[in-house]
Amino acid sequence: HRNSAGGDLQSPLTPESINGTDDERTPDVTQNSEPRAEPAQNALPFAHSAGDRTQGLSHASSAISKHWEAELATLKGNNAKLTAALLESTANVKQWKQQLAAYQEEAERLHKRVTELECVSSQANAVHTHKAELNQPVQEPEDTREGR
């Protein structure tokens, strides 16, 4: 939990290390299991003075803030993408419903047309059958005349 030559923090920040209680829990060993130097009078695990501690907390707070700002930006981006996809899907559903209604109307129109054509066809068959029946008696007398 000591500062490096550049002043960068070497350890992850935990409530214990920020509050200075980390030393009480692990007095002889750091997270890397290296022997610790005996702490100086009321020294913090990662700062040499109150100014260093304040600066360290400020850097940590800034890093945490940047992390959450990035997380928020990512969530906003994802939300925008999901909203756009939802709007597109809603528009597609509306279009599909319109197409379905048009297809249903066309199917109903074609069904009526088939019914009309079947009716006309049955009438034409009836006329053809009636004509054939009418022509048959006329042919019989001709056949009998030819036989004479």
Same domain, 16 and 70: no
Chain centre to alpha carbon of residue 65: 29
Q: What percent of the chain has pLDDT over 90?
A: 41
Identify which has the larger pLDDT, 46 or 123.
123
Q: Please enumerate in sequence order all residues whose Cβ is within 8 A of that of 52, keeping only pairs 6 or more positions apart, or say none.
A: 3, 7, 44
Residues 93-122: tens digit of each pLDDT: 999 999 999 999 999 999 999 999 999 999
Same domain, 127 and 83: yes
For residue 35, give the DSSP letter.
B
Same domain, 61 and 107: yes
Identify which has the larger pLDDT, 130 or 21.
130
Dihedral sign from CA coordinates of 134, 139, 141, 144? negative
Residues 45-90: tens digit of each pLDDT: 554 677 788 888 888 899 999 999 999 999 999 999 999 999 999 9
Residue type, 114: V
Same domain, 65 and 87: yes
pTM recorded for the entire structure: 0.41
Same domain, 62 and 125: yes
Structural domains counted in the chain: 2
Same domain, 53 and 31: no
Same domain, 29 and 94: no
Residue with tokens 């260093």: 52
From the number of C-beta atoms within 10 Å of its C-beta (0-12, 13-18, 19+), residue 36 rates as middle
Domain membership of residue 43 as a residue range: 1-48
Same domain, 28 and 79: no
- Write phi, then psi, for 30 (nearest 5 degrees): -85, -175
| Position 142 pLDDT exceeds 80 | no
Same domain, 29 and 53: no
Same domain, 37 and 55: no
Same domain, 20 and 82: no
How many Cβ atoms sit within 10 Å of the Cβ of residue 45?
A: 19
- Average pLDDT score, the chain: 76
